[in-house]
Amino acid sequence: DQQVKQNSPSLSVQEGRISILNCDYTNSMFDYFLWYKKYPAEGPTFLISISSIKDKNEDGRFTVFLNKSAKHLSLHIVPSQPGDSAVYFCHSLVYNFNKFYFGSGTKLNVKP
Amino acid sequence: DAGVIQSPRHEVTEMGQEVTLRCKPISGHDYLFWYRQTMMRGLELLIYFNNNVPIDDSGMPEDRFSAKMPNASFSTLKIQPSEPRDSAVYFCASSWMGNQPQHFGDGTRLSIL
């Protein structure tokens, strides 16, 4: 029962270009979404979040977009840098009931 | 403040042995989570605690797995007996509320031979 799906296991992007990572969810009760970044041999670290009352949240080079009707969110990284090479996890939850699910991750490779 | 601390970082043991993974959450965080990461299933939530009380253990694979949180600064995840299919990276995370960003430890890489 995969309630959160990241259908692209990997993505390769040239330095300076835009990286777009996608996440789909099935549960319309989800109302808070987070992205985490994970380097090898380290635990995931929180990157950016968005509430369902918004459709966009921006933090520096990172922007998350939420399309509630499509049950889809995406993370945009502009411009991409080699240090962004990592695995990115999408995390969806029901804010008041503490039900939460992680996607399987997308491995981003930013080529110099 | 120190982050979430997990030990050991690596564990290699033979099938049938008992394995104990340890976690020290960030001080002041009321929620503690145990995850297992595999290639096939990504990050799976095994169990989480609120104020040292287990809230949801529906992700625990089977009775061979057990978790405890005897106090606010320590938790264990135990596997007995261990099997090769338990080989994975196990993460512990904590947060001050269940719906806030979680802070992860660096994980324990477990190999069961």
**What are A13-51's pLDDT values in tens digits?**
999 999 999 999 998 989 999 999 999 999 999 999 999
Pick among B51, B99, B100, B108 to test the A interface (most A CBs inside 10 A): B99
Q: Which of A22-36, A62-76, B32-46, B64-78 has the lowest mean pLDDT?
A: B32-46
A92 to chain B, any CB pair closer than 8 A? The answer is: no
Q: Is the pLDDT of residue A1 over 70?
A: no
CA dihedral A95, B106, B9, B14 (to 10 degrees): 50
Residues on chain A touching B93 (C-beta within 8 angstroms): 43
> Exposed, middle or buried, A96 (CB in 10 Å: 0-12/13-18/19+)?
exposed
Confidence of residue B31 (pLDDT cuts 50, 70, 90): very high
Q: Say what the pLDDT of residue B1 is.
A: 61
A104 to chain B, any CB pair closer than 8 A? The answer is: yes
Cβ <8 Å between A43 and B106 = yes
Is omega for the bond preceding B101 within 30 degrees of 0, making it cis?
no
pLDDT tens by residue, A57-112 = 999 999 999 999 999 999 999 999 999 999 999 999 887 766 788 999 999 999 99
Nearest C-alpha in A relative to B35 = A102
Q: How far is A112 from chain B (nearest CA, A)?
A: 27
